[in-house]
Amino acid sequence: MMEQSRRTEQVLLVQRLKRLIVSFVFCLPMSLLGLLLMLLLIYNSFSVFSLHLVPIPPIQSTLSPTHLQILHHQTSTSSSVSDSSLLLVVKETSLGFIQKQNVSSTRTERKTRRFKRRTELTPAITQRLQVKPRQRFKTRVKSFLSESSCESLFFMTWISSIESFGDRERFTIESLFKFHPNSCLILVSNSFDCDRGTLILKPFTDKGLKVLPIKPDFAYIFKDTSAEKWFERLKKGTLSPGVIPLEQNLSNILRLVLLYKYGGIYLDTDVIILKSLSNLHNVIGAQTVDPVTKKWSRLNNAVLIFDKNHPLLKRFIDEFSRTFNGNKWGHNGPYLVSRVIARIKISSSSDLGFSVLPPSTFYPVDWTRIKGFYRAPTNESDAWLRKRLTHLRKNTFAVHLWNRESKKLRIEEGSIIHQLMSHSCIFCNSSSLHLS
The mean pLDDT of 74-90, rounded to a whole number, is 34
Cα 228 vs. chain centroid, distance in angstroms? 20
Cα 22 vs. chain centroid, distance in angstroms? 91
Tens digits of residue pLDDT in 218-252: 999 999 999 999 999 999 999 999 999 999 999 99
Pairing of strands 210-214, 264-267: unpaired
**134, pLDDT greater than 90:** no
The mean pLDDT of 118-130, rounded to a whole number, is 51
CA 316 – CA 26 distance, rounded (Å): 107
Cα 108 vs. chain centroid, distance in angstroms? 25
pLDDT number for residue 381: 83
For the chain, list the domains and their CATH numbers. Answer: 133-362 (3.90.550.20)
**436, pLDDT greater than 70:** no
Three-state DSSP at 416 gives helix
Which of 84-93, 146-155, 299-308, 362-371 bottoms out in mean pLDDT, i.e. has the lowest? Answer: 84-93
Pairing of strands 283-289, 296-306: antiparallel
Q: Which residue has the higher pLDDT, 246 or 129?
A: 246
Provide CB contacts within 8 A for 426, sequence distance 6+: 174, 177, 178, 207
**365, pLDDT greater than 70:** yes
CA 292 – CA 290 distance, rounded (Å): 5
pLDDT number for residue 28: 61
DSSP string, 138-198: HHHHHHHHHHS--SSEEEEE--S-GGG--HHHHHHHHHHHHH-TT-EEEEE-TTTSSHHHH
Dihedral sign computed on CA atoms, order 164, 166, 170, 172: negative
CA 237 – CA 436 distance, rounded (Å): 43
**392, pLDDT greater than 70:** yes
Which of 81-85, 132-136, 277-281 bottoms out in mean pLDDT, i.e. has the lowest? Answer: 81-85
pLDDT number for residue 379: 86
- Name the band, by pLDDT with cuts 50, 70 and 90, for residue 124: low
pLDDT number for residue 72: 39
For 287, 296, 393, 434, the CA distances from 388, given in Å and listed in that order, are 18, 22, 9, 19
Tens digits of residue pLDDT in 334-360: 999 999 999 997 655 667 899 999 999
Contact yes or no for 97/91 (Cβ under 8 A) = no
**214, pLDDT greater than 60:** yes
**159, pLDDT greater than 90:** no
Q: Up-side HSE of residue 100: CA atoms within 13 Å toward CB?
A: 13
**54, pLDDT greater than 50:** no
Contact yes or no for 193/213 (Cβ under 8 A) = yes
pLDDT number for residue 341: 96
**65, pLDDT greater than 60:** no
Contact yes or no for 89/101 (Cβ under 8 A) = yes
The mean pLDDT of 148-154, rounded to a whole number, is 94
pLDDT number for residue 326: 95
Tens digits of residue pLDDT in 303-330: 999 999 999 999 999 999 999 999 999 9
Question: Helices 416-424 and 382-395, interaxial angle, to 10°?
Answer: 40
